[in-house]
Amino acid sequence: MRWPILLATSVAAMSLASNAFADKYEDLVAKGFRWATADGPYAAVSKEDAHRVATHLSDSEIIKLVEEVKVYYLTPGTLVQVIDEDKKAGLSKIRMAGITSDLWTLSSFLTKRPIKDTYGVVETPETSGLIPTSEPIIDAGPTPAPPSFGTNPVPGALESPIPGVSPVPGALESPTPSENLMPEESPSPSESPQPSASPTPGTTP
C-alpha cells in the first residue's frame, strides 16, 4: 500500500512544481511573449512565405529564401513576442531579438508554456535581448570650460604670445643679448709741449 501512496505524492509534487514554474511566467504570457516549439526556417517576412516554408519546401528553395533574407530560423525555446494575429490564416506576427523587421510564423509553432532552449535555460525578455539591459553610464565629471580670450586682462598679468597659455608670472621676455660693446678708449692725453729753453743770461740773441 505504501508504493501507490509514494507514487501519488511524487506526482502531486511534480504537478505543483510545474504549476509554480508556469505561474512565474504568466506576466510574460499576458504581454504577448511566447516560446517557439519549431526547429527550422519557419519565421518569414511575408505571410505567403510563412505558409510556403511550413509546407516543406525543397532544400534549394529554402536556401534561396534564406539568401534573399526572407526567412529566419526558429529553434525550440526561442522567446518571441506576438504583436498581431491572423486567426483565420493561423499566423502570428512576431518580434525576435536581433532582427529589426517583424516576422510571420504559424501560431501552432508557438506556445504559452515556457520551455527551455538548447542551453537548458528558459529565455526571458532580458536574457534573450528582446528588452536591452541598461548600460552603466560613466560619469566623466563636468566638461572644462574653454579658455577665455576676453579683452579685460588681469591687472599685473602679462599677455601670453600663445593663446590659451598663461605666461610665467614675473617673467619678461628678454631680448637677444647684443654683442658686448668695447668701452670707448679714452683719448690719449696730448703730449705736453716742451717748455722753451730760457736764454742764457747775457747772451744777445
The per-residue pLDDT for range 117-135, each reduced to its tens digit, is: 999 999 999 998 887 544 4
pLDDT band of residue 57 (cuts 50, 70, 90) is confident
Q: Which residues pair with 74 in a beta bridge?
A: 40
Helix/strand/coil percentages in the chain, nearest 5 = 25, 15, 60
Quick check: 62 pLDDT over 60?
Answer: yes
Band (159; pLDDT cuts 50, 70, 90) = low
Angle at 47 between CA 42 and CA 48, to 5 degrees: 90
